[in-house]
Amino acid sequence: VVAVVLVAVFTRGVWLTSGRRRWLDRVVLRVPVVGGLVSYSNAALVTDILATMIEGGSDLLDGLTQAHEVVTNREIGGRLASARARVREGEEAGAVLAESGVLPRMASTIVRAGLAGGDLSGGLRRASRFCLVRQEAMGERVLTLLEPAVLVVMAGAVGWVAYSLIAGMLAITNAGGL
């Protein structure tokens, strides 16, 4: 098993092509708890980069380009690229980010409220904080779900060792009695 894992890791460049990676990222976003964790993580990253770029004097298109370069999930990166193209064509940024699926619904609502209030960078910062809080809550949920699984695996390993020792002792006892 270890050898198979090592071979898979070292040859991932061959079998994990760009199309397969994007398909895998799309599947990960659909997994119930993990998908939300990845979505909020990338949304926090995107909103933080956009806010930093706008506060630094850059425009929204440059911020979207920079965010596209940094995003780890290729499916969200593709959505971000299409959102950038739509913003470049003149559509409203808040609506585009909401419709494209780059940001979760509540985060996009916060960004749209900031945009409507004339404080886009402030709305982006608030959305980033919201996404980080949700990410932390989902991370705790994942850890809560993993704790019993780790206990079961460890109990199985200890049980297997105990069974092996007892079976060995019984085999020696039976062999000595013949």
pLDDT tens profile 92-132: 888 888 888 889 889 999 999 998 898 889 999 999 999 99
pLDDT tens profile 122-154: 999 999 999 999 999 999 988 988 899 999 999
Cβ atoms 53, 40 nearer than 8 A: no
Burial class (CB in 10 A: 0-12, 13-18, 19+), 40: buried
What is the pTM assigned to this prediction? 0.74
**Is residue 177 over pLDDT 70?**
no
Cβ atoms 77, 71 nearer than 8 A: yes
Cα–Cα distance for residue pair 109/94, rounded to 1 Å? 8
What is the model's pLDDT at position 19? 83
Q: 117-148 as b/e, with b when 16 or more CB fall inside 10 Å? A: eeebbbbbbbbbebbbebbeebeeeeeeeeee
